[in-house]
């Protein structure tokens, strides 16, 4: 269920390493949450330079929005954010200060995947549900 979408300015290293970044995001999500890796989705959207803004000013760093099932503990979400950022930066060479990751939680009941409405996530990272 998790869906990670990267918005990346043209020329950023993230675009050169899409398969590696997607594999790393999948690995991190599965390890941190216990969810099966087969359900992790990644998408990359390339935008022209000067298309991402913070405080009304253009920035050059990529952004990622992750949609995950609600119900994970604050500790699991924090670990997920840090490990996703670390893996992404290790592959691309981006500095942590130049990337931003936003997690949005949705109830499992709001997701249909493989023809099945998903169960709710467990706050326990060892539980697969």
6, 64 Cβ separation under 8 angstroms: yes
What pLDDT score was predicted for residue 108?
A: 87
Three-state SS for 116?
Answer: strand
CATH of 3-117, one of 3.10.310.30, 3.40.47.10, 3.30.470.10, 3.30.429.10: 3.30.429.10
Q: What whole-number distance in Å separates Cα of residue 47 and Cα of residue 51?
A: 6
What pLDDT score was predicted for residue 123?
A: 57
28, 91 Cβ separation under 8 angstroms: no
What pLDDT score was predicted for residue 127?
A: 45
Q: What is the pLDDT along the chain (129 residues), one digit of tens a residue?
A: 899 999 999 999 999 999 999 999 999 999 999 999 999 999 999 999 999 999 999 998 999 999 999 999 999 999 999 999 999 999 999 999 989 999 999 998 999 888 989 888 865 454 443
What pLDDT score was predicted for residue 119?
A: 84
């Amino acid at each position: 269920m998790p869906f990670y979408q990267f918005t990346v300015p043209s020329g950023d290293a993230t675009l050169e390493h899409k398969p590696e970044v997607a594999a790393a995001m999948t690995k991190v999500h599965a390890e941190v949450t216990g969810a099966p890796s087969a359900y992790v989705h990644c998408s990359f959207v390339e935008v022209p330079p000067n298309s991402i803004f913070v405080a009304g000013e253009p920035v050059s760093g990529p952004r990622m929005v992750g949609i995950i099932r609600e119900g994970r503990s604050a500790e699991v979400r924090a670990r997920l954010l840090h490990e996703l950022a670390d893996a992404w930066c290790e592959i691309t060479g981006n500095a942590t200060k130049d990337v931003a990751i936003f997690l949005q939680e949705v109830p499992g009941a709001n997701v249909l995947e493989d023809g099945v409405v998903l169960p709710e996530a467990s706050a326990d990272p060892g539980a697969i549900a």
